[in-house]
Amino acid sequence: MTSEDKHPVVISMDGSEHADYAFHWYMDHLHKPNHYVILLHVPERHAYMVGPLGGTADVESIQLMMKEEEEKEKKFLETLAQKLKDGGIGGKVKSVAGKPGEVICSVADEEKALFIICGSRGKGTLRRTFLGSISDFVLHHSHIPVFICKHKDLHPHHVGSPSLKQKIMNSPLFRRKNKDSPKNSPKLLRKKTDSESTDN
């Protein structure tokens, strides 16, 4: 098969269960032998990399943290390469620093990809309105089809990421302040939480 016969496909991989689900969904539903799969990783750049340096000890600490980040990223990229190898999939692993949404769209354009595959973290409507999301950005800025894979069992509620409302309601201060209020009994609070969680 010549390079002209290969059709690039970009799959965003960030190490989360959501990205893994998106990859497996692609393999089960869309993969074809002539696809050239590009597993794209956009590494995080934490605040300490651009923060002020306060002395020799701080420099050494930051260098150590940067080295640990680099080692972690290297292992993750090796894991992605092994994923392609184990599946007998033609393709490559690509790591590009930058804003994730912009990088995904840019790489897809550069590679002349057929489409983009993204996982979804399942943010509720309110959080999407204020914070946005990588998948939302890609969906609205990509010039090619985008598949956003969302699995109900990987909603943040199921993977141990409580919402801000749940954190507040479960905080000691909230419970202490409202423990004597009949309208805020545990039973009523539970009912309210269940009905409101349908928005997420």
pLDDT in tens, 33-55: 999 999 999 987 654 544 554 44
- Could you state, in order of their start, the residue ranges of all structural domains in the chain? 3-161, 163-200
Q: How confident is the model at residue 184 (pLDDT cuts 50, 70, 90)?
A: very low
More confidently predicted of 142 and 161: 142
The model's pLDDT over 13-24, given as tens digits with 9 standing for 90+, comes to 999 999 999 999
Residue listed under structure tokens 């489409």: 115
AA identity, residue 102? E
In this predicted structure, the answer to whether residue 160 has a pLDDT above a threshold of 50 is no
Whole-angstrom Cα distance, residue 74 to residue 199?
38
What's the whole-number average pLDDT of the chain? 76
Quote the pLDDT of residue 166: 56
| CATH code, 3-161 | 3.40.50.620
Question: Residue 67 class from Cβ within 10 Å (0-12 exposed, 13-18 middle, 19+ buried)?
Answer: exposed
pLDDT, residue 172, reads: 55
With cut-offs at 50, 70 and 90, classify the pLDDT of residue 188: very low
Q: Contact, 119 vs 135, CB < 8 A? A: yes
Q: Which residues in 104-135 are b (16+ Cβ under 10 Å) and which e?
A: bbebbeebebbbbbbbbbbbbeebeeeeebbb
Q: Which stretch of DSSP H or E encloses residue 119?
A: strand 116-119
More confident residue, 144 or 200: 144
Helix-helix angle 134-141:100-111, to 10 degrees? 40
Kindly report whether the global pTM for this prediction surpasses the value 0.75. Answer: no
